[in-house]
Amino acid sequence: MRAVCWNGSTDVRVESVPDPKILNPRDAIVKITSTAICGSDIHLYDGFIPTMEKGDILGHEFMGEVVEVGREVHNLKAGDRVVVPFTIACGSCFFCNRKSWSLCDNSNPNAPIPEALYGSTTGSGLFGYSHMFGGYAGGQAEYARVPFADVGPIKVPEGLEDEKVLFLSDILPTGYMAAENCNIQPGDTVAVWGCGPVGQFAIKSAFMLGAERVIAIDRFPYRLQMAKEYGKAEVLNYAEVEIGEALREMTGGMGPDACIDAVGMEAHGYGLDSVYDYAKQFVRLETDRPTALRQAIVACRKGGTVSIPGVYGGFIDKFPIGAAFSKGLTLKMGQTNVHTYLQPLLERIERGEIDPSGIITHRMSLNDAPRGYEVFKQKQEDCMKVVLKP
């Protein structure tokens, strides 16, 4: 089959590789009909996530048709149309039982690597996301092997086209969980850093969960435009205004009730602190650039919540713990517990409360994936989200 393979920093290639096989009784093989490129893939593309190997198959946002199931998979059969969550979960450990699917104990065969790195047990296996997260072949390919297929994939009705349900695999639940983590109360103002796909869905979700106002922050006019039109948010361009000041002013001096960092470890910035972060990340003294996170913590009102869907992988400097502490902030973060949100969000899509396909700007053949990565990363052609068709 054809698959998008990582070959080094900013080097992905479409290669011909063997087809996947059933390896465990609870596996299924899915013939992929649609797959997407995610902001998380850009962290891999830029070489910021360790333990990638040449030839690793990328991709964790995919859906398709079941073609084969292992002998312990009884809820799926060949021909079923499914969306696959990017977090791999066993469904029977302590964490899965508590619906903390992304913390599953049993799905990462390489768990000793992150344990050595982080000094304690860590999260679940992920598709196409480096060897420290399991080394699973990803879904930017014609076929994928799906472990624990009796627990993860959700069947989707024929009436809904791929583009409407594809993002159940990751970014829609991710934006939703980011908003849910804000514990939104009537009258709340939520500020969202980053108007990429995750940010867009965080904005939508904050309104679905009852936010009074959402203020979205980015520097790309077309992304802010989408936040305004698709998300109905008020917008701030951090290239033009000082964010902390603007937020204070817009919230009567209080600060937003909740802040969402939908940017992650490759934040861009203008301040002195971001120059320092660039330098340190460049020589690998600091692994992550936390410009947005620092701003979010400093801006948030007393007693508020900072929700962090943006991915961080290592160490950051100048973490404003004093501000967080003195304001009694709540910090929530982590990979998304995708499984929890599949059914409720599918229902919202069916009821027409949200149409996730609204963020798609690019549709390409799988063969054009290298161009897709570049266009998405460089934000060329007003690119918001790339969907690949194998």
Partner 1 sequence: MPRNISDGERIASIIGGTMLTLLGLSRKGDAGAVIALIGGGLAFRGISGFSPVYKALGMSTADSDSSDVAETQSRMVGVKRSVTINRSPQELYAFWRNFENLPGFMKHLHSVKVFDEKHSHWVASAPMNNTVEWNAEITDEQEDKHIAWRSTGDTSVPNTGSVQFTPAPEGRGTQVLVQIRYEPQAGLLGKAYLSLFGEEPSQQIAEDLRRFKALMETGEIATTTGQPKGRT
Binding site for ligand NAD (CB under 6 A): 38-40, 42-43, 170-171, 174, 193-199, 217-220, 223, 238, 262-264, 267-269, 291-292, 309-311, 335-336
Binding mask 87-126 for Zn ion (x = CB under 5 A): --xx--x--x-------x-x--------------------
Binding mask 22-51 for partner 1 (x = CB under 8 A): -xxxx-------------------------
- Taking the C-alpha atoms of residue 309 and residue 151, their distance in angstroms, rounded to an integer, is 23
Choose the one of partner 1, Zn ion, ligand NAD, none that binds residue 309, judging by a C-beta under 5 to 8 angstroms depending on kind.
ligand NAD
Residues near partner 1 (CB under 8 A), total: 47
Among 9, 19, 303, 381, binds partner 1 (CB under 8 A): 19
Reading the block at residue 333, the tokens are 């973060």
Nearer to ligand NAD, 29 or 100 (CB): 100
Choose the one of ligand NAD, Zn ion, partner 1, none that binds residue 94, judging by a C-beta under 5 to 8 angstroms depending on kind.
partner 1
- Taking the C-alpha atoms of residue 59 and residue 126, their distance in angstroms, rounded to an integer, is 10
Q: Measured from the CB of residue 376, what is the shortest distance to ligand NAD in angstroms?
A: 7
Residue 71 binds to partner 1 (criterion: CB under 8 A)? no
Choose the one of Zn ion, partner 1, ligand NAD, none that binds residue 210, judging by a C-beta under 5 to 8 angstroms depending on kind.
none
Tokens 């420290």 belong to residue: 132
Give the CA dihedral 29, 34, 37, 39, nearest 10 degrees.
Answer: -90
Nearer to ligand NAD, 40 or 107 (CB): 40
Identify residue 7 by its one-letter amino acid code.
N
Among 34, 35, 87, 106, binds partner 1 (CB under 8 A): 106
Do 228 and 236 touch, CB atoms closer than 8 A? no
104 closest CA partner among 126, 83, 82, 84: 126
Identify residue 335 by its one-letter amino acid code.
Q
Q: What share of the chain is helix, strand, coil (3-state, %, to 5)?
A: 35, 20, 45
Question: Interface with Zn ion by CB under 5 A: which range of 30-38, 216-224, 276-284, 327-335?
Answer: 30-38
Give the CA dihedral 261, 264, 265, 271, nearest 10 degrees.
Answer: -40
Nearer to ligand NAD, 40 or 106 (CB): 40
Residue 373 binds to partner 1 (criterion: CB under 8 A)? no
Q: Measured from the CB of residue 343, what is the shortest distance to partner 1 in angstroms?
A: 22
Give the CA dihedral 175, 179, 181, 186, nearest 10 degrees.
Answer: -170
DSSP string, 161-228: -HHHHGGGGTHHHHHHHHHHTT---TT-EEEEE--SHHHHHHHHHHHHTT-SEEEEEES-HHHHHHHH
Binding mask 261-300 for partner 1 (x = CB under 8 A): ------------------------x---------------
Reading the block at residue 133, the tokens are 């997260």
3-state secondary structure of 368: helix
Identify residue 298 by its one-letter amino acid code.
V
Contact set with Zn ion (CB under 5 A): 38, 40, 89-90, 93, 96, 104, 106, 170
